[in-house]
């Protein structure tokens, strides 16, 4: 390890060396991809993972096949990023670790009720329709806050439904359908 003029060691280099010594090339590529939300080249990922581009490409193909990574073709180069499915699954599993399926089902019911109330109050089905109804001047008013809350609630509802489906699949060994509309009562999975 190189010494600095004051006799201390380069901590970042030491940590990087430990990481390389304590993990496999696949684990390092996977760790890098878990933090890759914007498309990155094989070279960039291989550099961050401390592996050769050939090794990175091999492991990235495995992760694409597993649904953890998606590709983006820009010109002749293939770029990689974490898939939305992997991100949602991670967040759903985190939610399951923090809440019981009963609590999640109660939250789903409350969010669906809130969405129904917005639909009835504003006479539209989606936050996008609501946004089209708003004038530009309304965007910074209470209506803009409602729009933001509706969009957030819809995203949280989808996440909670995914968590409940994953929890049910883990419990029973089978995944039940989730094709119900966000406005329907009940959850898409029996708890």
- Kindly give the confidence (pLDDT) of every residue in the chain, 191 residues in length, as a single tens digit, with 9 standing for 90 and above: 445 555 445 888 888 899 989 999 999 999 999 998 899 999 999 999 999 999 999 999 999 999 999 999 877 889 999 999 899 888 999 999 999 999 999 999 999 999 999 999 999 999 888 888 876 555 567 788 888 899 999 999 999 999 999 888 888 877 555 444 444 434 333 32
82 within 8 A of 34, measured Cβ to Cβ = yes
Among candidates 92, 119, 97, which has minimal Cα distance to 184? Answer: 119
pLDDT digits (tens, 9 = 90+) for 3-30: 555 544 588 888 889 998 999 999 999 9
User: Domain limits of the chain?
Assistant: 11-82, 86-172
Q: What's the sign of the alpha-carbon dihedral 46, 47, 48, 50?
A: positive
Domain at 11-82: CATH architecture: Orthogonal Bundle (1.10)
Angle at 83 between CA 153 and CA 184, to 5 degrees: 30
pTM: 0.63
Quote the CA–CA distance of 96 and 91 in Å, as a whole number.
Answer: 9
178 within 8 A of 161, measured Cβ to Cβ = yes
Quote the CA–CA distance of 43 and 29 in Å, as a whole number.
Answer: 12
């Amino acid at each position: 390890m190189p010494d600095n003029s004051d006799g201390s060691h380069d901590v970042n280099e030491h940590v990087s060396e430990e990481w390389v010594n304590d993990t496999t090339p696949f684990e390092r590529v996977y760790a890098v991809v878990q933090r890759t939300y914007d498309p990155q080249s094989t070279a960039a990922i291989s550099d961050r993972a401390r592996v050769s581009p050939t090794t990175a490409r091999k492991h990235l193909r495995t992760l694409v096949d597993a649904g953890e990574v998606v590709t983006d073709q820009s010109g002749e180069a293939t770029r990689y990023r974490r898939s939305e499915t992997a991100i949602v699954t991670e967040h759903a599993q985190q939610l399951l670790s923090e809440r019981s399926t009963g609590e999640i089902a109660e939250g789903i019911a409350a969010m669906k009720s809130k969405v129904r109330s917005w639909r009835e109050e504003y006479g539209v089905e989606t936050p996008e329709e609501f946004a089209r109804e708003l004038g530009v001047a309304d965007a910074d008013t209470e209506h803009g806050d409602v729009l933001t809350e509706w969009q957030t609630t819809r995203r949280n509802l989808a996440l909670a439904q995914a968590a409940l489906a994953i929890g049910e699949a883990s419990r029973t060994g089978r995944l039940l359908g989730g094709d119900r509309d966000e406005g329907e009562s009940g959850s898409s999975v029996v708890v």
